[in-house]
Chain A
Amino acid sequence: MRISYEWLGDFLDLDGVTPKAAAEVLTRLGIEVESLLIVDLSAIVIGKVLEQKPHPKSRNPLWIHQVDLGDHVQQIIAGAPNAVPGSLVPVALPGTTVPNGKIVKDMNIAGFKASGMLCSASELTLGEDHSGILILDRGTPGEPLTTVIPNQAIMEAEITSNRPDEMGHLGVARELAAGLDRPLKRDFMPAFTGTADPPGRDLVKVSIDDPDLCSRYIGGVIKSVRVGPSPDWMQRRLRACDVRPINNIVDITNYVLLEYAQPLHAFDLAKLNGPAIHVRRAREGEKLLCLDGEVRQLTPDMLVIADALRPVAIAGVIGGEETAVTGATVDILLESATFNGPSVRQTSRALGLRTEASARFERALPPELALAGARRAASLIAELAGGSVHREWADVYPRPQEPVRVNLRPALIDEVLGTHVPLEEAESILKRLNFHVKVMGDGEWDVLPPVFRLDVSIPEDLVEEVGRVYGYDRVPPTLPGRRRDRWTPAAPSMDRRLDAVREVLAGAGFTETWNPALVSGRKLEDLRIAAHAMRIENPLSDDMNTLRTSLLPSLLDAIALNRDRGEIVVSIYEIASVFLAKVGDRPTQPDEPLRLGVAFTVLQGSDTGRFGFYHAKTVLDACVASLAAPPPTYDRASTDLFHPGRCAAVVMDGKQLGYLGEVHPTVTAGARLDGRVVAFEIDVEAVLAASRVSRAQPLPRFPGVERDLAVVVEDTVAAGAILATVKESAGDLLEQARAFDEYRGAQVPEGHKSVAFTLTFRSPERTLTDAEVDRVMAEIKLGLEKRHSARFRE
């Protein structure tokens, strides 16, 4: 909200309080001033236009003015035609910097001297209006502009949603007065009432269908108003708050909205059928031509103000054009009502229209405010538009505001804040904020919040009031601590345990990524992994409408992005949850398994890329080993995302953890990648669950013996099968067996391959002799011959 410093000065004495100091006090109180715009008008003077003639030579229409500046007359050229002779205008002389940053210079425009500038409101940063020169309603030529318009300071502030009372200058001023400990010059409830006969309630009939949606409706009749422009000071304040002046009646309703935070509306009484006001839900098919010129289709969940025949306003949002106050209006009906917050918000959302009024109603206004706002507006109309205000307005108030009382044990203040606030000070703070405090016999306080503070209902709310005015910077920081007889032993978090995996992957050259969990559902369908996907009902866009069921598509996209930016070799991973919907009739919370996904590009030409696959196994084995879980096994498998000949299911303790393999060529192509990508994705919680504390093994006391063995078998025999036979045939002395090479070519028969192993033999009791190892080797060869028809290469 925009707050005018000058306006605040109506309500409290700001002597010695600069705009900057006021902004700081407000921020400390909870009204966060985000920016402060100072408009310094000291260099601008007042001029009186004596003569205005069109520029004879200029291609664009320009006007040459002779301007009286008190002690001399100056020639000034302007593009706007509204500074007619007799107008008082703001003048910036050559050498002056105008508030909007423009520097004024002596100029010559097509043969005519131009010495200075006539300023618009926007050039003086007094508002958005740049359509013409700002015309002043008073002032003496030659005097500084500040004699009629004080220097401006506009604060842009954020008002929290619990404080609609602060959405008006009076509410902000009340806070500032409390913070500065200065008296507030204005009472909440104006004393003004109308006096004209007959009673207003006899002139218009008001009815409310649903008191839940409208708890109060005041309709005040004011007759014989003179519609015209509102005074300069009012227009200036409206502009400062980004509200466009229209005419005195409309301006007054907007002015009171910005002052009291009570939205108001003025109808042309002559245009209301009845005249009657019926607050009801819109009927199917009803429409309204609104004040902004748009016709809006209404639905029965919207609350409208109707006359005897038709809707004339959308409650709390916007008025209708046909019943609006115009220059021809004589009698008006002034509406000041209280509409239900959620209902106004719903309507405003459905219409895609947020107004100053709806922004206030949405936050739930107190019905007592409606009367205060109506009285204030009526008194201004009487004063500035000469209306005669009728007595005893229609005031339908089916749900009177219940007073709230809060019992406060004053010690709670110190207990919550953690510092000592003297009781007199706490009481004084509450009183400054218009709370009534009664100290009862038992020392407790019976506190009555002011009617405009619907947000206060529990003792803690009162502690907050005291705390923020007392000043939280006066509360010393402490750390909690006392003798405890209960505690929870420390345990490493899941993420810290997974740091072991991150270390392995960093060492192996893999960089961690964090990718969005929201992906395109269409894409998951194309990849055939959408069976358990959760779709969002109200997505921001189609490419973020579904929760991912796998990390791999994100990793492929990341590889593609880096490839597009020139990175050919990419090794990345992510640790994150995926989301798998449970099968059932109605949606429930999905499974959210935590996954480790790893993907990397395989360089072209490196032996049809099969070593990429083996590298992935090495990496996964190392990750698992870092968590001290048992080594996984790899079973040939087939699944949509992976290459049919290069895919393994990763299994641990009989449980499948996920898949490892080369990504299917159609999947890589779908991610706009050429070349091979190898990847794996596993459930890490299962690995963490299988993690054991590593136990130290005694170091071997006797030397081991290494032998190499090249086994020639048919192509179809898997290295894993050979290895199993080796282990089975070898007996206890074989410590380790590892395949290290696979060869096809001239030295082995067609349809065969040679697989080379390194075997390590060791006894815990003695040094093995060559003869002993030879015997075991012979057993191994025998086993391999029998089971795989193996031959051996030297």
Chain B
Amino acid sequence: MSDPSALTSEALAAIGKAQTEHDLERIEVEYLGRKSGRVSKLLEGIGKLGAEEKAALGKAVNDAKRAVEGALAGRRAELEASRLADLAETEAIDITFPGPALGRGHIHVLTQVRRQIETVLESLGYQVELGPEVETEWYNFEALNITAGHPARENWDSFYFSPELLLRAHTSPVQIRAMQRIKEPPIYVITPGRSYRRDAPEATRLPYFSQVEGLAVDKGLTVGDMKGTLLYMIQSLYGRDRKVRVRPSYFPFTEPSFEFDVTCGICGGMGCKSCRHKGWLEVGGCGMVHPQVLRNGGVDPTQWSGYAWGFGIERMAMLKHDVDDIRLFYESDLRFLEQF
């Protein structure tokens, strides 16, 4: 039978020398193990002792146990502190090594731009309206005041399936369909979708493209309202420093009619190579809806007025992301699509 204080000293010395958690665990078992630990063993034969001696031994053993436990905890804390202090060296890695590829897919840039346009106009209360891509002559032309033999028809050279049936040359037919469906203004809709014109493919135009048109029909709408809407849209998409100008033009379905331009993002309107020294970039067409077109949509032009506009989603994406060839959007080259 050994002396509790001597045993304690021995244990504390061992703990003081321990260098690893493993050493400490071994020491813990050796001294504090429940059955065979050396501190517990001090109590062997306690039953033979008298009451007073019993109490004295019990206290001594408890003190020894606490002392060893305290020393173990202290040494553990020391070792952990020292490990943490050395982390910069022991666990340093080459932080310039690149991460592994994420392998994520990309959403098409035209989807992204279309989503931005829709989000901006939805914030003004416009709702998306869709319609068929194969249209009737009436919806694509007649209803929009582009009668047979109209000199403007050559701007909408179209693909035909029969004299009555064609691929829509713009999403304007959806405006007529929207007026017919909703019947009673106010009408605030946008009509995104694919359109087709018989133009040979080149860097700036394709026989297929995507448009977004907008239509507002309400009481007392003005050219000023149309300008404000376009300005809000353009500034929301391209930044608040952009300006919008409307230039008189001609479309059979609007009166008055305009083209709308945006200040060049590169020179800010001063004129540079990219805007061909104009300072302005052409974006789309717009105007006050022609009374006959309202009538064709079933809306009374003496009660209501409206404005409409349209532009190509590709054009917007080209302006926003400096894309110089419209064909890239439909070529499905991943090296292009993965840039967005």
Residue B274 at the chain A interface, CB threshold 8 Å:
no
The stretch among B26-34, B54-62, B70-78, B194-202 that forms the contact with chain A is B194-202
Q: Per a CB cutoff under 8 Å, which of B127, B154, B248 touches A490? A: B127
Given A163-B250, A477-B227, decide whether A507 and B192 contact each other with a Cβ distance below 8 A.
no
B165: interface (CB < 8 Å): yes
Is B322 interfacial (CB-CB < 8 Å)?
no
A510 to B111, CA, bound (A): 14
B120 on the interface (CB 8 Å rule)?
A: no
Instruction: With both chains docked as a complex, state the minimum distance between the C-beta of B226 and any C-beta of chain A, in angstroms.
Output: 8
Query: Which residues 310-339 of B sit at the A interface, judged by CB distance below 8 A?
Result: 329-335, 337-338
B105 within 8 A of A: yes
In whole Å, how far is A462's beta carbon from the nearest beta carbon of chain B? 10
Asked if B161 and A536 sit within 8 Å, CB to CB, the answer is yes
B198 to chain A, nearest CB (A): 6
Answer whether residue B151 sits at the interface, using C-beta atoms and an 8 A cutoff: yes
How far, in Å, is B305 (CB) from chain A's closest CB? 7
| Contact between B224 and A477, CB atoms less than 8 A apart | yes
Decide if B213 is an interface residue (CB 8 Å cutoff): no
Q: How far is the CA of A689 from the CA of B33 in the complex (A)?
A: 68
- Scoring A residues 536 to 576 as 1 if CB is less than 8 Å from chain B, else 0, what string do you get? 11111000100100000010011001100101001110001
CA distance A547 to B230 in the complex (A): 34
Cβ-closest chain B residue relative to A33: B278
Residue B268, interface by CB 8 Å: no
Residues A478 and B160 in contact, CB atoms below 8 Å apart: no
Do A478 and B228 form a contact, CB below 8 Å, given A32-B247, A512-B337? Answer: yes
B291 touches A (CB below 8 Å): yes
* Interchain CA distance A510-B106 in the complex, whole Å: 7
Question: Would you list which residues of chain B between 251 and 303 have a CB under 8 Å from chain A?
Answer: 255-259, 276, 288, 290-291
* B231 to chain A: closest residue by CB: A477
CB distance from A531 to the nearest CB of B (A): 16
Contact A506 B133 (CB under 8 A): no
Name the one of B108, B229, B230 contacting A514, with C-beta atoms under 8 angstroms.
B108
Q: Mark A471-495, 1 if CB is under 8 A from B, else 0.
A: 0110111111010101110110111
A509 adjacent to B104 (CB under 8 Å):
yes
Q: State A472–B216 Cα separation when bound (angstroms).
A: 20
Q: Which chain A residue has the least Cβ–Cβ distance from B221?
A: A480
Q: Is the interface of B mostly helix, strand, loop or mixed?
A: mixed
Q: Of all chain B residues, which has the CB nearest A36?
A: B277
State in angstroms the CA–CA spacing of A342 and B290 once bound together. 23
- A468 near B: Cβ within 8 Å? yes
Output the least CB separation between A552 and chain B (Å): 13
Measured between C-beta atoms, what is the minimum distance from B330 to chain A in Å? Answer: 5
Number of A-B contacts (CB under 8 A): 239
At the interface with chain B, which of A86-94, A393-401, A515-523? A515-523
B152 contacts A161, C-beta separation under 8 Å: yes
- B111 A478 Cβ-Cβ under 8 A: no
**In the complex, what residues of B have CB within 8 A of residue A562's CB?**
332-334
Residues in B with CB closer than 8 Å to A467 are 223, 248, 256
Contact A460 B256 (CB under 8 A): yes
In the complex, whether B86 has a CB less than 8 A from a CB of chain A is: no
Please tell me if the beta carbons of A460 and B288 are within 8 angstroms of each other in the complex: yes
The reply on A363 being an interface residue by CB < 8 A is yes
Stretch at the interface among A122-130, A142-150, A414-422, A744-752: A414-422
Please give, as numbers and ranges, the residues of chain A lying within 8 Å of B196 by CB-CB distance.
518
Query: A517 and B133: CB pair below 8 A?
Result: yes
1/0 per position for B142-163, CB-CB distance to A under 8 A?
0000001101101100011110
Q: Any chain A CB within 8 A of the CB of B246? A: yes
Chain B residues near A518 (CB-CB < 8 A): 159, 196, 207-208
B118, A418: Cβ atoms under 8 Å? no
Q: Pick the residue among B124, B225, B332 that contacts A561 (CB under 8 A).
A: B332
Q: Please name all residues of chain B whose beta carbon is closer than 8 Å to the beta carbon of A458 when the two chains form the complex.
A: 255, 291
Smallest beta-carbon distance B242→chain A, Å: 12
Q: Which of B130, B162, B222, B245 contacts A478 (CB 8 A)?
A: B222
Stretch of A54-62, A584-592, A722-730 that contacts chain B = A584-592
Q: How large is the interface on A (under 10, 10 to 19, 20 to 34, 35 or more residues)?
A: 35 or more
Instruction: Answer yes or no: B219 CB below 8 A from chain A CBs.
Output: yes
* Structural contact, B152 and A512, CB atoms closer than 8 A: no
B96-111: CB near A (< 8 Å → 1, else 0) gives: 0000000111111011
Chain A nearest CB from B216 CB (Å) reads 7
* A417 and B105 contact, CB distance less than 8 A: no
Nearest CB to that of A544 among chain B residues?
B207
Instruction: Give bound CA distance, A30 to B225, whole Å.
Output: 20
B250's contact among A161, A486, A515, A557, by CB below 8 Å, is which? A161
Known contacts A415-B220, A480-B229; is A536 also within 8 Å of B250 by CB?
Answer: no
A223 interface residue, CB < 8 Å from B? no
Determine if B132 is an interface residue (Cβ-Cβ < 8 Å): yes
Q: B134, A592: Cβ atoms under 8 Å?
A: yes
What is the CA–CA distance of A163 and B224 in the complex, to the nearest angstrom?
A: 25
Q: Are B224 and A419 in contact (CB under 8 A)?
A: yes
* Minimal beta-carbon separation of A362 from chain B (angstroms): 6
Which A-chain residue is minimally distant from B104 (CB atoms)? A506
Q: Tell me whether A391 is interfacial, beta carbon within 8 Å.
A: no
Residue of B nearest to A576 (CB): B194
Cβ of A260 within 8 Å of any chain B Cβ, yes or no, is no
- CB of A210 closer than 8 Å to a CB of B: no
For the complex, give the distance between the alpha carbons of A416 and B232 in Å: 20
Would you call B182 an interface residue if the criterion is a C-beta within 8 Å of the partner chain's C-beta atoms? yes
Kindly name the residue among B221, B333, B334 whose own CB sees the greatest number of chain A CB atoms within 10 A: B334
A511 within 8 A of B: yes
Instruction: Report how far A514 CA is from B305 CA in the complex, Å.
Output: 36
Once the chains are docked, how many angstroms separate the CA of A468 from the CA of B290?
Answer: 17
Q: How far is the CA of A487 from the CA of B218 in the complex (A)?
A: 11
- From the candidates B105, B161, B200, B219, name the one contacting A587 in the complex (CB within 8 A): B161
Q: B333: which A residues are within 8 A, CB to CB?
A: 561-562, 565
Decide if A513 is an interface residue (CB 8 Å cutoff): yes
Residues of A within 8 A of B114 (CB): 495
Do the beta carbons of A27 and B247 come within 8 Å of each other?
A: yes
Let me know if B245 and A473 touch, CB within 8 A.
Answer: yes
Closest to A502 in B: B107
Report the Cα distance A33→B290, complex, angstroms.
Answer: 26
Whether B223 contacts A418 by the Cβ 8 Å rule is yes
CB distance from B237 to the nearest CB of A (A): 16
CA distance A488 to B255 in the complex (A): 27
| Distance in angstroms between the alpha carbons of A534 and B210 in the assembled complex | 20
Chain B hits for A506, CB < 8 A? 104-107
Smallest beta-carbon distance A679→chain B, Å: 15
A345 within 8 A of B: yes
Please name 5 pairs of A and B residues whose Cβ atoms are closer than 8 Å in the assembled complex, sorted by A. A416-B305, A479-B232, A496-B115, A506-B105, A514-B111
Supplied contacts A477-B228, A480-B221, 13 more A-B pairs, CB within 8 Å? A29-B248, A161-B155, A345-B149, A460-B291, A472-B227, A473-B245, A480-B225, A514-B110, A514-B330, A517-B194, A537-B159, A570-B334, A579-B134
Task: Give me the 5 closest cross-chain CB pairs, A-B, nearest first.
Answer: A418-B222, A418-B224, A30-B248, A342-B149, A493-B128
User: Using a CB–CB distance below 8 Å, which chain B residues touch chain A?
Assistant: 103-108, 110-111, 114-115, 118, 122, 124-125, 127-128, 130, 132-136, 148-149, 151-152, 154-155, 159-162, 164-165, 167, 182, 184, 186, 192, 194, 196, 198, 200, 206-208, 210, 216, 218-225, 227-232, 244-250, 255-259, 276, 288, 290-291, 305, 329-335, 337-338
